[in-house]
Amino acid sequence: MKTVWKKAALGVLMVVGAGIGPARAVAQELPQRTGNPYLGAIVVETETGDVLFEDRADEYGYPASVIKLLTLLTVLEAVDAGRVSLQDVVTASAAASRIGGSQVYLKEGEQFTVEDLLYALMVQSANDAATALAEHVAGSRALFASRMQAVAARLGMTHTAIHTEHGLPPSPGQAPDTTTARDLAKLCCALAKRPDVFRYTAAIERPFRNGTFIMRNHNPLLKTFPECDGFKTGFYRKAGYSIAATAQKNGANRIAVVILGCPDRELRNRTAENLLRQGFRLLGEKRRQQYLRSVGMLSADP
């Protein structure tokens, strides 16, 4: 990624745990990984990957449900390869029915299509749907996590460690999913190149279980920021509030913001909107400079 503009560190107090990294197992209580106003943030142009803004973008944090974006991409790539179909019928296992947190309350033996569960994954942020998809696509949750890790490695997400399909906090003795804002931005760029992604991530509401359950998107920017067209939020207490959101103005190139480890939901939402506005301004300045160079009115970068 080429950095167009980089924000200087603000000297912000961060509550961190020593030695957290992508391969560290949890041997004690999970350390808090949040900062004020965030642990790390980045804004990128998704077509090129150019960085428009970054602030501590390489700090490790816990992605929580934002990691379901990698679950989505892993499933869609399995569909591309012909290993599964969107119309495959998935039977919920006992393990899927016992997953807690945000869910669509799958019952053991209940059946839905892959596509239905992808909507549940993105709109409702359903952990049980994530588990059902993982088991269907790879045969086991562990194998699916390995596939997610392989996809992350291919995208250059070198500071990301995947242990779950849903991003929930680890059980005692397990390692947490870890990543950085920069790595999540690489994932955003890959997803933004797929038009099919936006039908799942841009849906504000979606009926489920024959309309008896209405799923509602957890991404507030879909309602409050007119140019926002998708992606995902995440939260658990030690991870703080995170978001990866895309926006496009007047058909121009799409940008994405990633905020990792914010201590407050409303602060996360306001900061994401502000960074998207700033991103559009910086993108406009970048385009202006490119034009001036093309007509010889501005010298090229040394």
Cβ(23)–Cβ(161) under 8 Å? yes
> What pLDDT does 6 receive?
41
Question: The whole model's pTM is what?
Answer: 0.88
Query: What structural domains and CATH numbers belong to the chain?
Result: 14-294 (3.40.710.10)
Q: Which residues of the chain register pLDDT less than 70?
A: 1-28, 288-302
Q: What are the tens digits of pLDDT across the range 238-265?
A: 999 999 999 998 877 899 999 999 999 9
> What pLDDT does 289 receive?
66
Encoded tokens for 276 = 């998207």
33 contacts: CB under 8 Å, gap ≥ 6: 15, 16, 17, 20, 39, 60, 61, 62, 238, 239, 240, 261
Hey, what amino acid is at 274? Answer: N
> What pLDDT does 259 receive?
98
Q: How far apart are CA 290 and CA 87, in angstroms?
A: 45
Q: Which residues are catalytic?
A: 65, 68, 125
Q: How far apart are CA 182 and CA 244, in angstroms?
A: 11
> What pLDDT does 293 receive?
60
> What pLDDT does 149 receive?
98
Percent of the chain at pLDDT exceeding 70: 85
Q: How far apart are CA 30 and CA 144, in angstroms?
A: 24
